[in-house]
């Protein structure tokens, strides 16, 4: 099975090498801003000409938004715009032009309805001080040295790694991986290189291929499994909150940049801002490490993992819980499970957003009409079951796997969460990995129970 996989390693750059990387990132920013100004000028000119009644065939020729069109325009103008263009790799300019090309396409698709999700705004100019330095190499000498502690990139030469790249080097030497591109980026005052590789992965089988686990994510516990295991939420952001506040107060007392007057920040402000940035980066790294360990363990152990389709955007509207929800990383758990279950021969089932996993009794199937968020225990009035709310939800999610296997594939149906029923009714699950194509869904029959209302939700 061939997959596109990224390998990310930290770099230890010398001052000279850091200046060279910053020069390449600056070249990408210059090309991006020049092409964006050119696009806006042509669009404005054509709009003005239309307002004067100029026919379409006589309008100023439009500028192609494709990468090839933007690169052609840049190559014609770069001797005057950037006379130093020969000092950096051509891939630096290609990085900025490619970013603008994708941004324009996303904006156009969002306006025409081809792109789902939130509306995408028109691209903006990149600032030298606020933009994260990044440059991407797709051609030229891109390789890992035999000592596996150095990499070679075009024009930048030999760069030392902070950690060994043996995982990727072994695959490249065995012929099971092919490096397609390399991206150098600065995150939290630390430079990283990310290799995008086409990897030939061997077929794997989970340790317990026939087992099913339901995963209910939350704030008090990051994940509650149907097996009864409770995964604690480390709350890395809350742990670093006091230090962030102190650094934020110290930063506000120093002379920062003023873009209106052109005042530059003081050295003390830059040092404090760097300390605050490192603190944020450490929180992000700790969160990423914990989520990867959890999802890897689930994907390599269980054959079927069932999660919920949470409306994380809507949950973030709760101002009292937004910070804790964002710190937990609900969306990232599902994203990682989606590809890790596929890599390890398992499958991921996603319960419909309207499936009342917390309101349904895991023993008799009775659904409560209302269940307040403050009620942490589920008390079933029909059978007398008393169980932890999250454990009850995890058991209901795990039960969906058997119903999905019974029903097979077909359209999606889901039961309304605000309607009290006498049984499980119809539920919806979407399979996101495995032998079934991504996005294929299944309808679960009532299994002899009755329902009062059925809501249909299209995926």
228's CB contacts (< 8 A; 6+ apart) are: 391
Instruction: Check if 308 is active-site.
Output: yes
For residue 336, what are the CA distances in angstroms to 56, 193, 322?
A: 49, 21, 21
Q: Report which secondary-structure segment, H or E, holds 79.
A: helix 67-81
Q: Rounded CA gap, 35 and 364, in Å?
A: 63
Catalytic: which of 98, 216, 352, 432? 216
Q: Is 189 helix (H, G, I), strand (E, B) or coil?
A: coil
For residue 343, what are the CA distances in angstroms to 206, 280, 287, 315, 340?
A: 10, 31, 22, 30, 5
Q: Lay out the sheet containing 157-161: strands in order across.
A: 134-137, 177-187, 190-200, 2-12, 157-161, 150-153, 143-144
User: What's the gap between Cα 229 and its chain centre?
Assistant: 27
Instruction: Check if 187 is active-site.
Output: no
Q: Rounded CA gap, 307 and 357, in Å?
A: 10
Q: Rounded CA gap, 69 and 78, in Å?
A: 14
* Matching residue, tokens 């605000």: 418
Q: Is 225 helix (H, G, I), strand (E, B) or coil?
A: strand
Catalytic: which of 91, 308, 327, 432? 308
Helices assigned H by DSSP within 207-329: 236-239, 241-252, 267-301, 312-315, 322-328
Catalytic: which of 20, 91, 352, 390? 390
- The residues assigned a catalytic role are 216, 308, 390
């Amino acid at each position: 099975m061939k997959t596109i996989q990224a390998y990310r390693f930290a770099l230890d750059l010398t001052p000279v090498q850091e200046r060279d990387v910053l020069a390449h990132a600056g070249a990408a920013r210059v090309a991006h801003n020049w092409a964006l100004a050119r696009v806006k000028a042509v669009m404005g000119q054509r709009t003005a000409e239309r307002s004067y009644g100029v026919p379409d065939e006589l309008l100023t020729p439009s500028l192609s938004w494709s990468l090839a069109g933007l690169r052609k325009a840049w190559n014609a103008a770069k001797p005057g715009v950037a006379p130093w263009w020969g000092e950096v790799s051509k891939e630096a300019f290609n990085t900025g032009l490619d970013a603008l090309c994708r941004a324009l396409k996303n904006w156009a698709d969002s306006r025409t309805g081809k792109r789902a999700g939130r509306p995408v705004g028109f691209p903006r100019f990149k600032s030298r001080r606020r933009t994260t330095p990044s440059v991407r190499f797709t051609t030229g000498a891109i390789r890992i040295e035999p000592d596996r502690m150095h990499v070679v990139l075009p024009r930048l030469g030999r760069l030392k790694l902070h950690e060994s790249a043996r995982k990727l080097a072994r695959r490249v030497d065995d012929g099971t991986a092919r490096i397609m591109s390399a991206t150098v980026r600065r995150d939290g005052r630390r430079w990283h290189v990310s290799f995008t590789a086409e990897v030939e992965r061997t077929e794997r089988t989970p340790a317990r291929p026939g087992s099913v686990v339901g995963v209910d994510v939350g704030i008090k516990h990051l994940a509650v499994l149907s097996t009864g295991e409770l995964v604690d939420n480390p709350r890395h952001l809350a742990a670093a909150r006091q230090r962030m506040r102190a650094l934020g107060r110290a930063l506000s007392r120093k002379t920062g940049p003023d873009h209106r007057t052109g005042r530059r920040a003081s050295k003390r402000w830059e040092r404090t801002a760097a300390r605050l940035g490192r603190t944020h980066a450490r929180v992000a790294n700790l969160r990423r490490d914990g989520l990867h360990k959890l999802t890897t363990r689930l994907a390599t152990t269980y054959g079927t993992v069932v999660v919920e389709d949470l409306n994380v955007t809507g949950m973030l509207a709760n101002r009292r819980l937004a910070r804790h929800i964002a710190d937990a990383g609900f969306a990232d758990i599902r994203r990682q499970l989606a590809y890790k279950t596929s890599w390890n021969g398992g499958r991921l089932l996603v319960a419909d957003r309207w499936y009342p996993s917390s309101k349904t009794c895991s023993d008799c199937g009775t659904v409560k009409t209302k269940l307040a968020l403050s009620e942490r225990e589920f008390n079933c009035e029909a059978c007398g079951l008393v169980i932890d709310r999250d454990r009850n939800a995890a058991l209901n999610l795990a039960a969906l796997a058997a119903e999905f296997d019974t029903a097979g594939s077909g359209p999606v149906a889901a039961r309304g969460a605000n309607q009290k029923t006498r049984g499980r009714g119809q539920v919806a699950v979407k399979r996101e990995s495995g032998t079934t194509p991504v996005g294929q869904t299944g309808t679960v029959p009532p299994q002899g129970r009755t329902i009062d209302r059925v809501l249909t939700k299209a995926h």
